[in-house]
Structure 1
Amino acid sequence: MGAIEESATWRHIAAPSVQDIEALSKEYDLPMYYFEGVSDLDEPSRLERLANGIFIIIDFPYVKRIENDMNLYDTFPISIIINNGKMITITAAHHEYIEEFRNRFDKSDDLERKPGIIAMQLLQYIMKSYIRDLREIREDLTHIEDRFLKRVYNEDFRKLFTLEKSIIHIKTALTGFNSMLNKMSERQYLQIETDSEMELLFDNVQIESQQASEMATIYREVLSSAMDVASSLVSNTLNQIMKRLTSVTIIISIPTLITGFFGMNVGLPFQDLSIAVLIIVVISVLLCYLTVLYLRRKDLL
């Protein structure tokens, strides 16, 4: 059976098996899809009213893996069911974030509170997790931008791509989260206005959700600008290299042209002089030198 942690008002189930889901469905007299929705990693956030409570499914941010020496962030769904005065949370796998949230509370006090309060505190914790991860993304992005001032490496493009995937995952999850909050506010699923503590927690969740959404939008725009700047820097560097190579080619072609001219089997200047070769070399060097001065003045070399 999946791992179960339980208090008087909160029951958490991680990685439930098919048998676990069937047992939970019978125990709480709810359809099985309320308990098995978390198995679909692409399950969108949503909110439904139950006969004696509510059903919430939202996405929680986590570090999926290390990619290009950076954290790749993704989200996993978590179901929150409040039914008959008890809260049930379900995740498809064991996640340390849920353990961290539980460890922040004294089981003899906070975890014995109303399930609606615990659910709202969990939503607030999730929002703080989004903000924390977005700040880490910002630090990674700032580090890459600092490297741009020196030189653009292929590794930087791979890192930017990793950051872009992370922000897309987070922004998509936040969009669904905000829609769920709006629905919760409009239809009063948890009787928010009748409980001052609940109302305060809900206001905090909304504020932090808005902050996280704005951060995700800003960082995605900054990331897009950074990728454009990186591409421009690479193009500019390539143009500079091609410009210098063209200038070098012009300089090299001067002695080639002169020696080719004096290599013709016809009467030529200096052909009867013993120092003809020296004269040709001096002329070639002088013309090359003058060409170099001209190209440098025109910022072509």
Structure 2
Amino acid sequence: MNIITYEDANNLPLPAYVIQSLRDRAELAHIRHLEALTYIILNYPSGPKNIHPVCVATDGETYNLYAHTSVLLNDDTDAYSFTDLIIQTLRNYETLIKYINAELNHYEELMDRGITKENIRHLFSINRQLIQYQTAINAIGDVTAYIRDQKPSHLWSDENASEYANIRIEINQLDQNIEMYQQIIESIVSVSDSLFSNKLNITMKRLTSITLVLSIPTLITSFYGMNIDLPFQDHPYSLAIVFVISTLLTIATVAYLYRKDFF
């Protein structure tokens, strides 16, 4: 496979449609037959932030790979066949998905301490990345499915039938992994919300218990602040009696609430 790198796609001797596809970094995999050549666009990932479309142009005998200079290709890419390039593309997506798995493991460890709004925002960003990867991978699957079904002579042969079968298996596995990680993200957010709600309920329960305990001496002393006849008001130790009663009722309330796990 001949590798042709470029900095400006407009300078390539390619049809305008292909040049436009190479300039669009969000372009998905597809195949077109133009001017006696077949052009296959692949969205090639060479890093989490470096996903760029590449183009394979072939007449059945010669394969030219057009890639932007920012695309990091393997050293032995020039020895690749077309199916080798697809498999390497899928493996690169697999590597990106492994990066996401490592990030999710980090967030699973954070769940006990609580997920912040910034964490939630980042998790949604990760989910969006997974959707983009899944869309790109499924587009590659559509291209290879077309080749398997139509069996164009310059792309298909009985010798590479097993390679296309491996590509289909790889795509299915990646698709399942992405769906699994999306479910993990949903679980992390759901469990985090449950943990936060549980902690909030415990805090509110404790605050309510404290308020109830403090209201007992407040209620008793408020009665003795009124200008009416009250028990023990003429007793020489009335203050001590009121204090002891308030203390005993408070201790009894605290003991009761403690047994009911309100503290």
* TM-score in terms of structure 2 length: 0.89
Letter of the aligned partner of 2:76 in structure 1? R
In 1, Cα distance between the equivalents of 2:18 and 2:92?
24
Change (3 A) 1:80 1:274: farther
In 2, Cα distance between the equivalents of 1:185 and 1:84?
16
Change (3 A) 1:190 1:145: farther
Aligned to 2:48: 63
Contact conserved, 1:56 with 1:79, CA < 8 A, in 2? Answer: yes
Aligned to 1:83: 59
Aligned to 1:113: none
Measured after TM superposition, the shift of residue 170 of structure 1 is 1.0
Measured after TM superposition, the shift of residue 193 of structure 1 is 5.2
Change (3 A) 1:289 1:60: farther
Identical pairs, percent:
28
Measured after TM superposition, the shift of residue 139 of structure 1 is 2.2
* TM-score in terms of structure 1 length: 0.79
CA-based RMSD: 2.2
Q: What SS is found at the alignment partner of 1:202? A: helix
Contact conserved, 1:192 with 1:202, CA < 8 A, in 2? Answer: no
Match 1:258 to one of 200, 208, 220: 220
Runs of 5+ unmatched residues, structure 1: 1-8, 26-30, 65-73, 111-116
Measured after TM superposition, the shift of residue 192 of structure 1 is 5.5
Cα deviation 1:237-289 (Å, max 9, x = unaligned): 11111111111111111111111111110111111123222222222221121
Letter of the aligned partner of 1:104 in structure 2? D
Contact conserved, 2:147 with 2:156, CA < 8 A, in 1? Answer: no
In 1, Cα distance between the equivalents of 2:198 and 2:52?
41
Verify: 1:14 aligned to 2:44, yes or no. Answer: no
Measured after TM superposition, the shift of residue 159 of structure 1 is 3.7
Match 1:157 to one of 120, 127, 130: 120
Verify: 1:32 aligned to 2:4, yes or no. Answer: no
Verify: 1:127 aligned to 2:90, yes or no. Answer: yes
In 2, Cα distance between the equivalents of 1:272 and 1:282?
16
Runs of 5+ unmatched residues, structure 2: none
Q: What SS is found at the alignment partner of 1:88? A: strand
Measured after TM superposition, the shift of residue 91 of structure 1 is 3.9
Aligned to 1:189: 152
Contact conserved, 1:14 with 1:90, CA < 8 A, in 2? Answer: yes
Match 1:147 to one of 96, 106, 110: 110
Contact conserved, 2:3 with 2:67, CA < 8 A, in 1? Answer: no
Letter of the aligned partner of 1:276 in structure 2? S
Letter of the aligned partner of 1:87 in structure 2? Y
Contact conserved, 1:157 with 1:227, CA < 8 A, in 2? Answer: yes
Contact conserved, 1:152 with 1:230, CA < 8 A, in 2? Answer: yes
Match 2:76 to one of 100, 104, 114: 104
In 2, Cα distance between the equivalents of 1:80 and 1:192?
11
Letter of the aligned partner of 1:240 in structure 2? I
Equivalent residues, number: 261
Measured after TM superposition, the shift of residue 236 of structure 1 is 1.4
- After TM superposition, which residue ranges in structure 1, 4 or more long, deviate above 6 angstroms? none
Verify: 1:45 aligned to 2:32, yes or no. Answer: no
Correspondence 1:235-274 to 2 at 5 A: 235-274=197-236
Letter of the aligned partner of 1:151 in structure 2? R
Aligned to 1:168: 131
Match 2:38 to one of 36, 42, 54: 54
Contact conserved, 2:9 with 2:22, CA < 8 A, in 1? Answer: no
Cα deviation 1:87-115 (Å, max 9, x = unaligned): 2333455122x2xx2x135x6xx3xxxxx
Letter of the aligned partner of 2:53 in structure 1? P
Measured after TM superposition, the shift of residue 165 of structure 1 is 2.3
Cα deviation 1:58-103 (Å, max 9, x = unaligned): 2223312xxxxxxxxx74322222236332333455122x2xx2x1
Contact conserved, 1:47 with 1:57, CA < 8 A, in 2? Answer: yes
Measured after TM superposition, the shift of residue 215 of structure 1 is 0.7
Letter of the aligned partner of 1:253 in structure 2? S
Aligned to 1:227: 189
Change (3 A) 1:190 1:14: farther
